[in-house]
Amino acid sequence: MDINTAILTSKIVAVVRLDSYERAVDVARALQRGGVPVLEFTLTGRGAIDAVARVRSELGSSVHVGIGTALSARDTEDAIAAGAQFVVTPALRPDVIACCKRHSIPVACGALTPSELLEAHELGADFVKLFPASVGGPRYVKDVLAPLPFLKIIPTGGVSPENARQYLDAGAVAVGLGGNLIPAAAVGSGDFAAVEHAARACAAAVR
C-alpha cells in the first residue's frame, strides 16, 4: 500500500513529538498494535531522523513512517535519505514541497488561511495540513471546503478522539493526533500499553 492510500485508509497520522526518540521503535510498535500504522517523528526532538531509519528497519512495511516539522529542503533531504516515506510541515514551505516533488515523496504542507491552503495545493502538496485546527474547529474545515472542495485537508492541533469524527464528517480526509494519542508521560515511564490503548481509542473514533 502506498503512503497516500495508507493515510486515506487509516484516517489518522500519529504526530510523535518527544524530546528524545530513544524509544521510537517501542512507540511505533504500540501505535501499530493499536491500529494506527501511519506516524511522523517531529524534528523538534533529538534523533528524529535516526528514529525513522530504525523504525523502518525493525518494523518494515507494517508501519508508514514520515518526518514532521520539516522547515527546510536540507532537513527534508536528510529525512528522505534516512527512509522517510512522507514529510509534514507546520507552515507553508515551498522549498520543502519542491524537494519532496523531486523525490516523489508525499508531502502534507501546513497552512491555516484559505489562501495558504490553496497555495500549498497549487505548489504540489499532496495534502494540506490545517494547523492549528483548534482555531476554527470542524466548522472551519466545512466552510473552507465549500469553495475549495478539491483540497485534501488533514486537521492537526487540538484534534482528539472526542472530535476526530467531527473533522472527518466536515470533509477532512484524515486527522493528525499528537498529545492526545502519544502521552509523553507514558512514553517516559515505558508504559507502552497506554500508548496502544490510546491508539485503539483513536482508531475506533474515526471508524
Complete domains list, the chain, with CATH: 3-206 (3.20.20.70)
**CA-wise closest residue to 182 among 45, 18, 67:** 18
Rounded Cα gap, residues 122 and 124, in angstroms: 5
In the chain, what is the greatest distance between 2 CA atoms, to the nearest angstrom? 47
Contact assessment for residue 185 and residue 19, using Cβ atoms and an 8 Å cutoff: no
For residue 154, CA distances in Å to 46, 80, 125, 165 come to: 25, 21, 12, 12
Tell me how far apart the terminal alpha carbons of the chain are, to the nearest angstrom. Answer: 19
Residue 78: pLDDT band with limits 50, 70, 90 = very high
Rounded Cα gap, residues 49 and 164, in angstroms: 28
Rounded Cα gap, residues 63 and 170, in angstroms: 27
Q: What is the DSSP letter of 15?
A: E
In the predicted model, is pLDDT for residue 184 greater than 90?
Answer: no
**CA-wise closest residue to 143 among 175, 165, 113:** 113
Question: What one-letter code names the amino acid at 50?
Answer: D
Contact assessment for residue 199 and residue 33, using Cβ atoms and an 8 Å cutoff: yes
Query: Which pLDDT score is estimated for 183?
Result: 85
Contact assessment for residue 48 and residue 21, using Cβ atoms and an 8 Å cutoff: yes
Average pLDDT, the chain: 96
- Residue positions annotated with a catalytic role: 40, 129
* Strand-pair partners of 21: none
**CA-wise closest residue to 31 among 206, 179, 203, 196:** 196
Count of CA atoms in the C-beta half-sphere (13 A) of 195 = 30
Residue 180: pLDDT band with limits 50, 70, 90 = confident
Query: Which pLDDT score is estimated for 179?
Result: 87
In the predicted model, is pLDDT for residue 121 greater than 90?
Answer: yes
Phi, psi of 65 (to 5 degrees): -115, 130
Phi, psi of 202 (to 5 degrees): -70, -40
